[in-house]
Structure 1
Amino acid sequence: MSNDPSETILRRAGMLLEQRRYSAAQAELRQVLAEYPEHTYAHSLLSLALSQDERVGDAARTQEHREQLLEATRHAELAIASDPNDALGFYALAFSRLQRGDCPAAIEAGQTAIALDPYDADSYAIVAGAQLQSRKFADALETADRGLKVDPEHGSCTNIRSLSLERLGRGGDAIEAAKAQLGRQPDDSTAHAAVAYAHLNQGEYKQAQLAFREALRLDPTDEFARRGMIEAINSSNIFYRTLHRYFVWMGRLDQRVAFAVMIGFYLLIRNIDRLAEAVPFLAPYTTAIVMGYVIFALTTWIASPLMNTALRLHPFGRHLLNGRERLTSNLIAILMGLALVSLIVGLVWFNLTVAMAGVVYCFLLAVFVVATMNMPTRMGRIGIGLASAVVAVMPFIPGMFVYFIYGSLAIQIGSQMLAARSRAF
């Protein structure tokens, strides 16, 4: 048995990682690296400790968290430079890249780890997880199945398999897979959440609430379950439940296809007059088509924060919202109140034009709030906020109201594209 003090420290660091005491593990590993700067195993473990630290969750909320993930990547790369044939180094690199939202790089590194050690189910799980986040659901299912051939009881591969099945529209199979995992590990919060999502996306919101509640009981920090529970409670409302079916449909599309659908709708509305010229029988309906699209788009964009306002009256739901979600719901509630005042004032004055203009303006301002608050970085929120402020003054400039509508749609679509890109770094 080795008497090398560094080996004792490494074993202790490994135990701390298993106990999810990531800060303590980081301190131990830095002690080893201070004495042995090129220690491959220590670099790999420190990378994993930095990446798994709960403080860097939710797409690296602050610059400090982003720096921590960048450090995790650097340590994984140092491990690989020290030993290019070490599968753990590539696994650590894949993990840090996935936490940074760079799914293609995570898949590439994970596949290298598999090539170096095809008998480690963890590497299959990290690749499948990145494929799942990339909406490559069939690929994620195939990779998870390969991992389960290596270890038929691997929890992460089983859960990813269940989530992939649900995304592919095979809800019954998804529930069966997740329940098989619960039979082996009844305290697996992710498996409970996987069951819940399968129920939720099949319209069974009451069963989903029970499963999400159990997942959060087992792990109150589970962001995946927290967001799902919010959706499940909001789905108690039949109006929101109908919208949720649309969200599920969009969520099952390939990411590029989903963006193409959004942009296609926008371009269709932007060029509706030309379409009416080419297809004359549509001419009388162009205004109705544009307003219908605007109302639908507004509804899908503000439905969740609007429902979150009501969620704060729910005995369990009021504990689910984070600070930014509460602020967003407050601003949305104020704007909806102003919309109601505008409607009442317009009706009292017998001026329906004023009433509807005020309502539409408040709803579009709500879109700006949601677009701004959904940006994952501070600079993104500042940029979208400034663009929103410019568009918000357009209705007060003669002849600019139509451009205000188009600008609102552009801000929402553009903010979603920018948010998707800025989450990866």
Structure 2
Amino acid sequence: MVAVSDAIERARTLLELRRPADAERELRGLLAQNPQHSAAHSFLALALLEQGNPADAVTEAYEAVRLAPDHWFPHYVAGHVHYRERRPDLAMAAVQAALAISPEHVPTWTLLSRTHMLTGHWREMADAARRGLAIDPEAAEPASLLALALVALGEAEPAKAAAAQAVRLDPDSATAHLVYGRAALAFGDPREAADAFREVLRLDPGFDQARELLVAALKRRNPLYRWLARFQSRFRGGWWLVFLLPAVPPVIIVFVLIALLHWAAWIAESWTTLRLARAKATRLLFEGAESRVALLCCCLPALGAALLALGITLGQDALGTGGVAVMALVTPVQEAAHTSAARARAILYGWTGLLGLAIVASVALGSVGPALLSVYAALATIWVAAGVRRVFRKEQAPL
């Protein structure tokens, strides 16, 4: 029994040290001698999950549940595996089974909160995090999750208080500082948010999400960019306005204004990104693709304006209209670049390519109609992109 306990403890330690392959070897050695050991199957599921083997992880988790259906830990591990694989329904069932057996474990309430986060049930996420804090007021992770839920619910002061509590409880936690920065960024304090994200990167230099959020915080220090970004994130215009067009044709003006303001916001995004990517103090925060997209989107308006001026000078309406269409391409390029799901991004880049071909063809044929349609289609990409992202939203990374 002592040897079995020692093997389990060694495996647990190896998992904490992020050495899942070593933990797997330890656990398989134990299971070779004792194949009915439920905890060994549970920890093996976690080791396999960390090594990118979810199918076998699920098998081991279910075997652990079969061997010890009246113990909370195998159900918890099954829920964790399903959560990591973004299967919220299965994760929820497993977590509820664990809570029905033993409702006093904070990690289970934490996992329940994370599962609600996966489905966007913010109020339930907050409630689960509060249940965890009620059991252990010194637990930093439930405090962080509570802050995230309150940020999503728009409750500024409680969110800031919960985030500050998470940092106080675990000042060496990169996650706690990340949540604190997200709360500050969401509620209008980009400077404090930037400081928090820098602390995250000091604690964990490989935390990519912190790098992206630091870039966002640095951009939002510009008041004009901040206003345009706020407009862009909150207002695209309801699709239902389309049904008003036959009765109230002037509604089209609303669509035009929305599209133009989004275009202006993407121009601001491009210029701000390019400026930060060229600055010595911040250039390392940017990947090459980001700066290239920003440079392209800064060049498109200049190229389009040159074509417009040339078209006016030469009296070629198709060339001038094509120039306007080139300027409008900023919207589809940026919408594609800011789409995280790979297939959705590929579709939007394909759409952008088709618009570019249509512009070239219309100029070559001297036809104004296709060029004008390309202008409208490019500016309307904000709605096209929203629809594409909705189709592929299951591929989006969790918050």
Instruction: Note if 1:419 corresponds to 2:392.
Output: yes
Q: Is the Cα contact below 8 Å between 1:179 and 1:195 reproduced in 2?
A: yes
Query: How far 1:47 moved relative to its partner?
Result: 2.5
Name the counterpart of 1:340: 302
How many Å separate the matches in 2 of 1:77 and 1:308? 47
Query: How far 1:299 moved relative to its partner?
Result: 4.9
What's the CA shift string for 1:12-56, capped at 9, x where partnerless?
111112233334323333443455555421222132234456xxx
Name the counterpart of 1:94: 79
Name the counterpart of 1:214: 199
Query: How far 1:211 moved relative to its partner?
Result: 1.4
Name the counterpart of 1:44: 42
Name the counterpart of 2:357: 393
Instruction: Note if 1:115 corresponds to 2:100.
Output: yes
> Quick one: which amino acid aligns to residue 143 of structure 1?
A
How many Å separate the matches in 1 of 2:64 and 2:208? 30
Query: How far 1:317 moved relative to its partner?
Result: 3.4
Instruction: Assess, with a 3 A threshold, how the Cα gap between structure 1 residues 349 and 247 changes in structure 2: closer, same or farther.
Output: closer
Query: How far 1:309 moved relative to its partner?
Result: 3.1
Instruction: Assess, with a 3 A threshold, how the Cα gap between structure 1 residues 358 and 318 changes in structure 2: closer, same or farther.
Output: same
Query: How far 1:345 moved relative to its partner?
Result: 3.6
How many Å separate the matches in 1 of 2:226 and 2:65? 48
How many Å separate the matches in 1 of 2:327 and 2:397? 32
Instruction: Note if 1:350 corresponds to 2:336.
Output: no
SS at structure 1 position matched to 2:260: helix
Instruction: Assess, with a 3 A threshold, how the Cα gap between structure 1 residues 373 and 232 changes in structure 2: closer, same or farther.
Output: closer
Name the counterpart of 1:200: 185
What's the CA shift string for 1:386-412, capped at 9, x where partnerless?
454445434446644566444735541
How many Å separate the matches in 1 of 2:334 and 2:82? 30
Query: How far 1:147 moved relative to its partner?
Result: 0.9
Answer with 343-352 or 228-237: which moved more: 343-352
Name the counterpart of 1:3: 3
Name the counterpart of 2:275: 310
Instruction: Assess, with a 3 A threshold, how the Cα gap between structure 1 residues 392 and 70 changes in structure 2: closer, same or farther.
Output: farther
Instruction: Assess, with a 3 A threshold, how the Cα gap between structure 1 residues 341 and 305 changes in structure 2: closer, same or farther.
Output: closer
What's the CA shift string for 1:218-258, capped at 9, x where partnerless?
1223344223212111112222211343467x5xxxxxxxx
How many Å separate the matches in 1 of 2:273 and 2:28? 43
Instruction: Assess, with a 3 A threshold, how the Cα gap between structure 1 residues 169 and 74 changes in structure 2: closer, same or farther.
Output: same
2:244 to 275, 283, 288: 275
How many Å separate the matches in 2 of 1:40 and 1:23? 19
Q: Is the Cα contact below 8 Å between 2:109 and 2:129 reproduced in 1?
A: yes
Greater relative contact order, per chain length (Cα 8 Å cut-off, separation 6+): 1
Name the counterpart of 1:291: 256
Name the counterpart of 2:325: 360
Instruction: Assess, with a 3 A threshold, how the Cα gap between structure 1 residues 12 and 128 changes in structure 2: closer, same or farther.
Output: same
How many Å separate the matches in 2 of 1:366 and 1:245? 16
Instruction: Assess, with a 3 A threshold, how the Cα gap between structure 1 residues 383 and 421 changes in structure 2: closer, same or farther.
Output: same
Name the counterpart of 1:321: 286
Instruction: Assess, with a 3 A threshold, how the Cα gap between structure 1 residues 3 and 20 changes in structure 2: closer, same or farther.
Output: closer
> Quick one: which amino acid aligns to residue 68 of structure 2?
D
Instruction: Assess, with a 3 A threshold, how the Cα gap between structure 1 residues 344 and 388 changes in structure 2: closer, same or farther.
Output: closer
How many Å separate the matches in 2 of 1:113 and 1:336? 54
Instruction: Assess, with a 3 A threshold, how the Cα gap between structure 1 residues 114 and 402 changes in structure 2: closer, same or farther.
Output: farther
Name the counterpart of 2:156: 171
How many Å separate the matches in 1 of 2:207 and 2:14? 20
Instruction: Assess, with a 3 A threshold, how the Cα gap between structure 1 residues 306 and 149 changes in structure 2: closer, same or farther.
Output: same
Instruction: Note if 1:143 corresponds to 2:107.
Output: no
Instruction: Assess, with a 3 A threshold, how the Cα gap between structure 1 residues 191 and 44 changes in structure 2: closer, same or farther.
Output: same
Instruction: Assess, with a 3 A threshold, how the Cα gap between structure 1 residues 276 and 302 changes in structure 2: closer, same or farther.
Output: same
Query: How far 1:72 moved relative to its partner?
Result: 3.0
How many Å separate the matches in 2 of 1:107 and 1:386? 37
- The share of aligned pairs that are identical, in percent, is 25
How many Å separate the matches in 2 of 1:409 and 1:175? 32
How many Å separate the matches in 2 of 1:304 and 1:47? 43
Instruction: Assess, with a 3 A threshold, how the Cα gap between structure 1 residues 275 and 381 changes in structure 2: closer, same or farther.
Output: closer
1:408 to 381, 392, 398: 381
Name the counterpart of 2:218: 233
1:189 to 153, 156, 174: 174
Name the counterpart of 1:61: none
> Quick one: which amino acid aligns to residue 3 of structure 2?
N
Query: How far 1:153 moved relative to its partner?
Result: 1.2
Matched residue count: 386
SS at structure 2 position matched to 1:278: coil
Query: How far 1:385 moved relative to its partner?
Result: 4.1
Q: Is the Cα contact below 8 Å between 1:110 and 1:126 reproduced in 2?
A: yes
Q: Is the Cα contact below 8 Å between 2:225 and 2:265 reproduced in 1?
A: no
SS at structure 2 position matched to 1:312: helix
Q: Is the Cα contact below 8 Å between 1:332 and 1:366 reproduced in 2?
A: no
Instruction: Assess, with a 3 A threshold, how the Cα gap between structure 1 residues 331 and 244 changes in structure 2: closer, same or farther.
Output: closer
What's the CA shift string for 1:49-105, capped at 9, x where partnerless?
34456xxxxxxxxxxx5xx33443333233223333332222222222222333343
Query: How far 1:314 moved relative to its partner?
Result: 3.9
SS at structure 1 position matched to 2:2: coil
SS at structure 2 position matched to 1:220: coil
Instruction: Assess, with a 3 A threshold, how the Cα gap between structure 1 residues 424 and 189 changes in structure 2: closer, same or farther.
Output: closer
RMSD of aligned alpha carbons: 3.3
2:341 to 376, 380, 387: 376
How many Å separate the matches in 2 of 1:173 and 1:417? 30
SS at structure 2 position matched to 1:187: coil
